[in-house]
A and B are shown apart, each in its own frame.
Chain A
Amino acid sequence: MKTCLVVDDSKVIRKVARHILETLNFTVREAGDGREALDACLTDSPDVVLLDWNMPVMSGMDFLRALKESGISEKPKVVFCTTENGMAYIRAAIEAGADEYVMKPFDRETLQSKLQIVGVA
């Protein structure tokens, strides 16, 4: 079973994502901001991170940069999952090294499709 770390400051979004991911046979862990997510990755790196953009303490973008610089050998795939749906944001995420991008609102099919594209589903 693959592990997905859901990083979002909204409890509701985390719950929705968890529900979908569990039906896709993922073990789900949660983090409320980028800092918590980084700690979680340093302790026990998941297969994939589903990452919100705007969060308190540490944004998704800052998390991604920190992750790239961290010494984690088996880096997780990173899938942004955000309401920032503009082209400039998407391009910036790709440039920073994101593997995929989910524009909110999303449904099960979208999530499944993107996880298949990055090779974890």
Chain B
Amino acid sequence: MMPPGPPTFASAGATNVIGALLEQRTGQQIAANRAWRVETALKPVLRDHGLETLDQLVGRLAGERNGPLADAVVNALLNQETSFFRDAGVIETVVEAARALQAETPGRRLRIWSAGCSVGQEPYSLAMLFEELAVSRGFAMPEIVATDVCPSALARARAGRYSQFEIQRGLPVRRMVTWFDSIDGEWVVRPELARRVQFRCHNLTRDPAPIGKFDIVLCRNVLLYFASAVRRSVFDTLRSATREGGLLVLGAGETVIGQTDAFRPSERFRGFYQADGGQPAPARVSVR
């Protein structure tokens, strides 16, 4: 007989319960090849709450599924990987598309939605390019709304404070010195750029789309780990937020093909998707 081993840090059951909590709150599923990250990601949460094992954590969660502990678990498990000018060509195409759309409807202020904006690099990258375009060509600054489900990510995004490592990923040095101040070893976005982005808390799987239509919606590297039914419903929400003829921009590994009829590949902007003329399906407010 095998001798009893040391107490395990995580039972499969505990990981399942935690995975279910994440999915119920955000739609995100923990892929099998990322399950190992659960323990590492939750270590600080355990420490902060005086817990030693995931089983203890699950025990505590059973009594308070909506309390601050559950929030901390969900926040810790969300993948928030991002960088300035991520897939730089895509960000530039967004600006090109905005110019084309603006030329078609002069006088109307364009609206852009960065859905799943993480700690803010994506909307700030766009804001920098549009500011430059405003100076060089008098382009009217679009309204940029940036949302995420994670309150702590949004707090960081609003503060616009980045570490030395974060500020050096994707951001050209000239833009760094133009748009950021160096304060106590961190890089802080200047107020004139910060005021160009409105950050709001928004859950793509639960909340109705923000009010008003958007010309361009970016939802990059968010849908990857949604179950397909959830993804379909999120596409409907995104469609309900997009002006007819407006554009949806997904991450490099994401597509609408075979997933929804609400968008089709854009003929003008490679890799982008266009909101079809047909009646948009009503946005579902709740998935569960």
Sample 23 A-B pairs with CB under 8 A, ordered by A number: A85-B164, A85-B182, A87-B181, A87-B182, A90-B173, A90-B176, A90-B177, A94-B173, A98-B173, A100-B173, A101-B173, A102-B168, A103-B164, A103-B168, A106-B168, A107-B165, A109-B165, A110-B168, A110-B169, A113-B169, A113-B170, A117-B170, A117-B172
Task: Given contact pairs A85-B164, A107-B165, A110-B168, enumerate 14 new A-B contacts (beta carbons under 8 Å).
Answer: A86-B182, A87-B181, A90-B173, A90-B177, A91-B177, A94-B174, A100-B173, A101-B173, A103-B168, A113-B168, A113-B170, A114-B168, A117-B170, A117-B172
* Other-chain contact of B177, A87, A102, A107, A109 (Cβ < 8 Å): A87
Q: Contacts A90-B177, A107-B165; is A100 near B172 (CB within 8 Å)?
A: yes
- How many inter-chain residue pairs (CB < 8 Å) link A and B? 34
A binding-site residues for B, Cβ under 8 Å: 85-87, 90-91, 94, 98, 100-103, 106-107, 109-110, 113-114, 117
- The 8 tightest CB contacts between A and B, nearest first, are A101-B173, A110-B168, A113-B169, A87-B182, A117-B172, A100-B173, A113-B170, A103-B164
Contact B177 A94 (CB under 8 A): yes
Q: B159-180: which residues lie under 8 A (CB-CB) from chain A?
A: 164-165, 168-170, 172-174, 176-177
Q: Which A residues are CB-close (under 8 A) to B177?
A: 87, 90-91, 94
A110-B166 Cα distance, complex, nearest whole Å = 9
Min CB distance A67 to B, Å, is 18
Min CB distance B86 to A, Å, is 10
Q: Tally B residues with Cβ within 8 Å of A.
A: 13
B binding-site residues for A, Cβ under 8 Å: 83, 164-165, 168-170, 172-174, 176-177, 181-182
Q: Which B residues are CB-close (under 8 A) to A103?
A: 164, 168
Q: Across the interface, name the chain A residue whose C-beta is closest to B172.
A: A117
Q: Across the interface, name the chain A residue whose C-beta is closest to B83.
A: A113
Contact B164 A109 (CB under 8 A): no
Min CB distance B172 to A, Å, is 5
Q: Which B residues are CB-close (under 8 A) to A107?
A: 165
Q: Which A residues are CB-close (under 8 A) to B164?
A: 85, 103
Q: Which A residues are CB-close (under 8 A) to B173?
A: 90, 94, 98, 100-101
* Other-chain contact of B169, A98, A100, A109 (Cβ < 8 Å): A109
Min CB distance A82 to B, Å, is 12
Min CB distance B75 to A, Å, is 23
A86-B184 Cα distance, complex, nearest whole Å = 11
A98-B174 Cα distance, complex, nearest whole Å = 10
A87-B165 Cα distance, complex, nearest whole Å = 16
A47-B148 Cα distance, complex, nearest whole Å = 41
Q: Which B residues are CB-close (under 8 A) to A101?
A: 173
A86-B83 Cα distance, complex, nearest whole Å = 22
Q: Which B residues are CB-close (under 8 A) to A102?
A: 168
A106-B167 Cα distance, complex, nearest whole Å = 12
Min CB distance B111 to A, Å, is 29
Q: Which B residues are CB-close (under 8 A) to A91?
A: 177
A18-B120 Cα distance, complex, nearest whole Å = 33
Min CB distance B161 to A, Å, is 16
